Amino acid sequence: MTPKIVHTLNVLGLIGVLVVNFLASYLPIGGFTTGELSDKYNSLFTPAGFTFSIWGIIYLALIAWTVFVAWGLYRGSTSSDRILNLIGPWFVINCIANASWIFVWHYQYILLSLLFMFIIWLSLFQIYRAIDVAWLENDQQTAFTVGLPFSIYFGWISVALIANISVYLKSMEWGGFGVSEPLWTMIIMAIVGVLGLYVLWKERDRAFVLVFAWALWGISKSQASADYNQIGQTALIICAILLVGILYSIYARWRFGRK
């Protein structure tokens, strides 16, 4: 397929996702809003409700990406052709999986929702690996309009996948091999923190890591009660460590010229 056909499918896919998201709250699909189901299938890893406002940023960033690439195609830019060739069919797959996840989640097929969430994550992993955020930093405009949207999206879906796994295990009344749910939650948060620092060191992707920090901040707020105060404190500490890492990364780039 030509780049123009590929991007037309990308645009249609994104429009489809936006429409399904709107219907999910307007109808709502399955008789529940997405937020109501999130509260119903709450786990200790689930961030506070305000944290999910990041979806607005993600969708605005993806709209900006589609406009940027479309404008490049209109001008005959080889950069847009290259981006679309690198991404291939993965964004369309992502959109189909995203819309499908909303339907199965709203009809409370938890295992099936986990499968579609993994497909969403896998498609973003392929896109993230293809566009190479570190390489995009050589072109600030492309980094902002291409790298940034997918960094934020991939970062949030990485968190959402863990949350979806937690919800599924809780729905199955998994025993955790004798380890308590609060301890498992703190272990998972520690892994998220280590992964964030690795991405910061390896990919120099501050936006991706900032999303992790945002999610951990949300967890600290959702688990601030006396019963799970230790989880909230752990989330806050790991969030602070990631923010310090981001600030140092910015300083190192300014001071030593490192990206």
Residues 72-127 pLDDT 10s: 998 888 888 988 998 999 999 999 999 999 999 999 999 999 999 999 999 999 99
* Residue that has been written with the tokens 């992707």 in this structure: 205
Residue-wise burial string across 210-228, b where 16 or more C-beta atoms lie within 10 A, e elsewhere: bbbbbbbbbbbbbbeeeeb
Q: The tokens of 9 are what?
A: 């499918």
pLDDT for 139: 67
Q: How many residues does the chain have?
A: 259
pLDDT for 134: 46
Cα separations in angstroms, 238 against 14, 56, 80: 33, 25, 38
Judged against a pLDDT cut of 70, whether residue 164 lies above it is answered with yes
Q: Compute the average pLDDT of residues 206-235.
A: 92
Q: What is the pLDDT of residues 136-163, one digit of tens each?
A: 555 677 778 888 999 999 999 999 999 9
Query: Distance between CA 206 and CA 136 in Å, rounded?
Result: 13
Rounded to two decimals, what is the model's pTM?
A: 0.94
pLDDT for 199: 95
Quick check: 83 and 146 in contact, CB under 8 A? Answer: yes
Phi-psi region of 147 (alpha: psi -120 to 50; beta: other; left: phi over 0): alpha
- From the number of C-beta atoms within 10 Å of its C-beta (0-12, 13-18, 19+), residue 188 rates as middle
Angle (nearest 5°) at CA 203 between 252 and 95: 135
Phi, psi of 76 (to 5 degrees): 75, 30
Query: Distance between CA 193 and CA 89 in Å, rounded?
Result: 31
Mean pLDDT for the chain?
A: 92
Q: What is the DSSP letter of 31?
A: G
Q: The tokens of 188 are what?
A: 């998972």
Quick check: 198 and 246 in contact, CB under 8 A? Answer: no
Q: What is the pLDDT of residues 3-33, one digit of tens each?
A: 999 999 999 999 999 999 999 988 999 999 8
Query: Distance between CA 182 and CA 156 in Å, rounded?
Result: 22
